[in-house]
Structure 1
Amino acid sequence: MRYLKATAQDISGNGRADTVILHFYQKHPDGPDELMDEMLAVDVSGNGEIDLQWTQDGSSTLDKHQLKTFAEAVLKLGWFNRAGYWTRSLNVFVAHYAKTTRPNAVTLAFHACDPATRRASMIYKAAAYDGDGDGVLESFTNSDVDHNGIANNADKELIRAIGTSFLSMNWHQA
C-alpha cells in the first residue's frame, strides 16, 4: 500500500499554515515504511496559494500542478504545526478498490503526536467515496476538517479536493 503523509507548518509565525511537507511512502508488510519521494511547498505571500515547490531530487515524476493543488487544499485544513514542530500530520490513502480495480474510497487520517510519549495516534478520519465507480468522488463523511466548529459543504469540498488531487497523482498505484 502507498500513502501520502502531509505535514503543514506555520513557518512565518502568523498563525496560519504556510508550508506543506509531503512524504510519499510505500508500506511494506515485513518492515518499516519506505520514503519514496519528498516535496516541499511554500506559500510565501500568505494568500493561501503555493508560490514555491521543491522536490527531493530536483525533478519529480509527479506533476507540479497536481502537487500544488493538493498542498493548497492542505493549507486550508487548519491542521498544522508551529515552526519546527512535527506533532500533527495527515495521511491520505486509498482504503478500498471497486471490482474494476478503481479506487472507490479515499481516507484522510489526521494524526497527532503526544509530546510526552512521542507516540502518534490517529485523532479522527474523514473519507470520500466513489459509489458508482465512475472515477468521481461524490459522497463524503460529515467531518469538520477545516476546524471551524461546523461540518458543512466547505468541509466536503476540502475532502473532495484532497481526495481528487491525491488520486490524480496516481500515488496509490504500485
Structure 2
Amino acid sequence: IAGINAMRQQFGPDVKIHEVITNGGQSPNIIPEYASMWIFVRATDKNILEKAAERIVNIGKGASLMTGAQFRYKRAKNTFYDIKRNEKLNSLMKANLAELGITRLEEGDKYHCESTDIGNVSYRCPVCYTTLGTSHISDAGIHEQGFIDVAGSDEAKKLMHIAAKAMAMTALDVL
C-alpha cells in the first residue's frame, strides 16, 4: 500500500486508486501465510489507466522481491475506459435537443472518471454522450437518495422522453 500511495503523487488528479485489504491475516503481530487485496483504478484516459495498472503490478512485484513473498494478480475483465466523444454526433444531438426546447445541457467534466462501459464502446464506434440536468436543486451525489428522488421526478421522466426523441432524430440525421 505504501508503494501505491507514493505512486498517487506522480499521477495527480488524472488517476483515482481505491484499495481494500480483503485478507490481511488473523492477528496484527503475525505475518500471514496468505494476504490479498482488491485494487480499483480509474483514469481520465485509457493509456493513463493502462500505465497506472502496469505500475501497480510492478509495485507488487517489487514488494515480493523485497520480502521474498510470492506475488500473483488478476486483471478484472470489466475494465472501463474513458469516453471518446464524437463532436459531430454531439453537435447533432445538441441541435436536436434545442429543436425540442432543451438548451441547458450538462456537458460533464472531460476529466471525470466514470464507471460505465460507454467508454469501451467509444473506442470501437462513434458515441454521443450528453447529460440533461433538471431544475431541481440537489446536493446529493449520484449514489444517494436525493439523486434518486430527482431522477424519479415527473420533470426527469419528461426529459428522458425528450432525450429519446433527440437520439432518434440524431440517428436519422446520420442515416
Greater strand percent: which structure? 1
Say which one has the larger Rg. 2
> When the two structures are superposed, what TM-score results if normalisation uses the length of structure 1?
0.24
> When the two structures are superposed, what TM-score results if normalisation uses the length of structure 2?
0.24
Greater helix percent: which structure? 2
